[in-house]
Amino acid sequence: MIRIIILCLGVALIAFIAWWFFGKHNFATENASVNSNKQSVDIVVKGGYSPEKVILERGIPATLNFKRTDSSSCLDHVIFSDFGINQKLPQGKTEPIKIDTSKPGEYEWACSMNMFHGKVIVK
């Protein structure tokens, strides 16, 4: 009986892990919504970043709207080292961050402890 319970828990755990990774990959990348010379992407900060990869168009002023719903202090700052940005993210509020899109390339962001990461791709 105990063996069956352990087996069931094991299967449930594997299913959960598979779902977790599948879900993340499924929602990982998002293109900015562009309208009248502006582009923006909303990013939810909760146990990481969603989406964690953002594609922006070159030369159009861009804003990333970070909304932190996670209470952990780990995620209370977001750092774009390429742009010299170190922005506090107040919990429950949307914090707009302007991104320089003048040069194409890939720019990473991270939490203050460099544990969680995301990436901006300027095309």
Residues that bind Cu ion (CB under 5 A): 74, 111, 113, 115
* Least distance (Å) between residue 79 CB and Cu ion: 10
Contact (CB, 8 A) for 50 and 29: no
Report the residue number, 73 or 94, with the smaller CB distance to Cu ion: 73
User: With respect to Cu ion, which residue has the nearer C-beta, 55 or 85?
Assistant: 85
Separation between Cα atoms, residue 12 and residue 5, nearest integer Å:
10
| CB nearer to Cu ion: pick between 60 and 77 | 77
Which residues touch 32 (CB under 8 Å, ≥6 apart)?
39, 40, 41, 54, 55, 56, 57, 62
| Least gap, CB of 121 to Cu ion (angstroms) | 22
How far is the C-alpha of 99 from the C-alpha of 107, rounded, in Å? 10
At closest approach, how far in Å is the CB of 57 from Cu ion?
A: 29
